[in-house]
Amino acid sequence: SYLSRIFKQKKGHTITEQVNRTRIEEAKYILQDCDSTVSETAQKVGFADRSYFYKVFKKQVGLSPSV
């Protein structure tokens, strides 16, 4: 869509990538400061699929969320 193209031109990444970045930042906080499991954290930040959460987290952070 037009909005997606403009967003990518201005930011250098897609809207989905931005949403995932925001979710992963929140997940990092939850994993460090709360007693939530990785699965609970994935759900709390909006990832319905735990495997996809692991993949996105590892890509952005360089570590698995369980480390």
**What pLDDT, in 10s, does the model give residues 17-41?**
999 999 999 999 999 988 899 999 9
User: Which residues are CB-neighbours of 14 under 8 A, at least 6 positions away?
Assistant: 4, 7, 8
Q: Is residue 29 part of a domain?
A: yes
Closest by CA position to 67, among listed 24, 33, 38, 40:
38
Q: Is residue 66 part of a domain?
A: no
Residue bearing tokens 């735990």: 50
The domain of 30 spans: 2-61
The whole-angstrom separation of Cα 17 and Cα 56 is: 9
User: How many domains would you assign to the chain?
Assistant: 1
CA dihedral 28, 36, 40, 26 (to 10 degrees): -20
Q: Is residue 67 part of a domain?
A: no
**pTM reported for the whole predicted model:** 0.84
Q: Which CATH number characterizes residue 27's domain?
A: 1.10.10.60
Q: Is residue 37 part of a domain?
A: yes
Cβ–Cβ < 8 Å for 66, 58: no
Over 80: is that where the pLDDT of 67 sits? no
